[in-house]
Structure 1
Amino acid sequence: MESRYLTVHALTKYIKRKFDADPHLHEIMVKGEISNFKQHSSGHMYFTLKDEKARILAVMFARNNQQMKFKPENGMKVLIKASITVYESSGQYQMYVSEMQPDGIGQLYLAYEQLRAKLEQEGMFRPDHKKAIPKYPRTIGVITSPTGAAIRDIITTIKRRYPIAKIMIYPALVQGETAAPSIVKAVQQANEQDSPLIDVLIVGRGGGSIEELWAFNEEIVARAIYTSNIPVISAVGHETDFTICDFVADMRAPTPTGAAELAVPHIDELVERILTRQSRLIRGIKEKVELQKLRLNRIQRSYAFRYPKVLYDQKMEQLDKQTELLTRNVQRVLEQKHMQQELIQKQLVRNHPNHYIKKANQDLASLQKNLVRNTELILQAKRQAFLSKIGKMDALSPLKIMERGYNVAYDHHGKLIASIKQVKPKDQIELNLADGMVEAEIIAVKER
């Protein structure tokens, strides 16, 4: 009689086989809302898929979710591809999900928004972390495909705008599953470069779809750019394309060509700036010369210049020492300028800018003439200043005042007489003159 009864296990197993044998329960398409989502340490995802009237348990194993670009969340509406079966241990039927994508929004776009929000919360987009792009870079690193149009545009733009800059190319894949690790490796190589040091790094590629640009939305690429010691300019796609790299980089360029323009100044603008400063320098020197001429005229008319003999002889030795020191300093400056000239010439020879070399030599000759002329003017100014000080000291000497007829009177106690109230008739006084002393007697005292 008991043989007519099934065990729970047998009944559940029978039902499971019915489910497994039904072709309508394999690779079905279902849409719903995720709730009770949990991802196990093994990578498997467990959740409930529901709508307004029903719910069903679901499992998505790690082997199926590893390639997903986004992370499922509670409340998210999704489209899934799954098979229905029975889990024997609990007797519950559930879905085994093989594919999943957001409902109403692209999978890549959702992944993009999730990563952007995550990195922004970590502070990776903060302006205070961004490094300044150097104004005059010597070496520019470029990370992109070596065969794409982007590299040609970057090189052409840099050579046109700033031909003295050196370009270091770090080839990288910019599309496909292996593109992100390739870009990360190139960023690391640029940061490890010893000689020449990279001053600024351009990372990017030409335009494309979100799938083609996806490598620049990968988290490992964003973190590599964020930790780069070299300032990074992001140049991905067209002006309307935005990637995670654009937010993390120190500067975003709308296109690869735009990145090259942001990375280097224009040589013509620099030349114009130099010429402007040269004009200001010449004008300043002329004003300085006119000022020194006025000072010279004042000194020539001064008493010290006309009668410098008294203190001049005493200061000749000091003047000789100062002249010798000044000569040594001038020689050292000339030697430094000569060394700078040689260094500039070597740099120009390496880059073959023949017309700039010619101009630099002309400028050097002009600077040397200006240096000699300015040195002579400075020496002359110092000498005239010295003579002026001698004259002032001579003019303020008490002896010189007494030579002009003035004298100092003392009473018989040796006290200086400064007022008529200190003396009376028949008092004996002493008068100190420039060349001696006179004893006198007061005859009368009169108020003025």
Structure 2
Amino acid sequence: MSSSQSFLRDGSLNDAYDLPPGDAGGVGRAVSVSELNGHLKAVVEATFPPLWVAGEVTDVTRPRSGHLYFTLKDDDSQIRAIMWRSVVSRLPFKLENGQSLLCFGGLEIYTVRGTYQLVVRKAQPQGVGALQQAFEKLKARLHSEGLFAAERKRPLPKHPRRIAIVTSPSGAAIHDFLVAARRNMLSAEIFVIPAQVQGAGAAETIRRGLQAAAMIRPKLDAVIVARGGGSLEDLWCFNEEPVVRAIAECPVPTVSAVGHEIDVTLADLAADVRALTPTDAATKVFPDRDGITQRVDHLDRRLQRAMQLTMELRRQKLEALERHPMFKRPMEIVHLRSRLMDELEMRARQAMDRQMERARHRLANSAAQLSALSPLKTLARGYSVTLNQSGQAVTHVDQVTDQQQVETIVVGGRFSSVVTSVIPDEPRFGRGDSAE
């Protein structure tokens, strides 16, 4: 029998190292941790041949080496597993969290850490695990209700003054967030609302934390829900419907900073902004302090230059006004304006006199023309005007009859008379005319 088997059977190292009976507990020959792990490695790897193990995949990690690290779990237990790069390259499918997987491999004790793991040589999918199925079903239902719609997303304020973070006050998430916030924010109030972020009852504490944040007055600028990374089970409370609806209905813009970059929860989809980590949440909520400081300094320099330029322009205008004759010899300008007014007055009078003279000449010409055309002038030359009883001028012999009373206008007055006879003119014949 080997020393390792004797160790496992009796629970002591007496057989393995032939310790004397008086050396109680083997104190005289204690084994090192490396030796103990080495014995366990030899026994376990010799006892368990390669076998098939069924479980749900979670915590998938893909480092640069190309190897694949993940966890196989069922309802009651879990085991770490590793798949070397050569095996990964032959996989006909992509390994994802939530898959139900059949893995063939052997158990291995990792002596450096004293842990055991399954070294997977083959793998084939069985379907989607129960948690992943529940995740996809709830995701589809909430998506159909519009809880994840892009048009519902609200922007974060550029310069928040009051924010709250719902998380475990003793976790690494709050520490990472506060460290990053201290580097970025200029001045803001941060309220830490305690909540359980894992395990039974966690969803209810998160929901109450969001409700408490909505009731804080004055109103907050943003609410952050945060925790560090973990397996699908660890983050499951952020996939529960009460938490997702509380985030979607929160009156304050929300930020989900749950897990790491590869972890996507329903809380991430419902929140207004998704942050990859609590540190990333601080950089998204708070603007870059150095950038703001530089911008303020730049604006201050521009303002100083603008003020100096404005003052210089005003100084130049003031100096120009100071040199103006109006301020040096004010009465000289008054005298000049007075002389100008006198000249304008004289010019106006002369213009008026010329206009009056031209008008007088036009009036005299018009009077002469009217006088020449006046009937009185004609009467003065020996002519008269005869009016009938209606006061109309008689211009033809046919307009009067015998015994008709007429009135005649001559120079100096008028007189009335009665027509005793009407004698028409004899017809006259021109050259070439003849009378019968």
- TM-score w.r.t. the length of structure 1 is 0.48
Q: Which structure's CA Rg is the greater one?
A: 2
- TM-score w.r.t. the length of structure 2 is 0.49
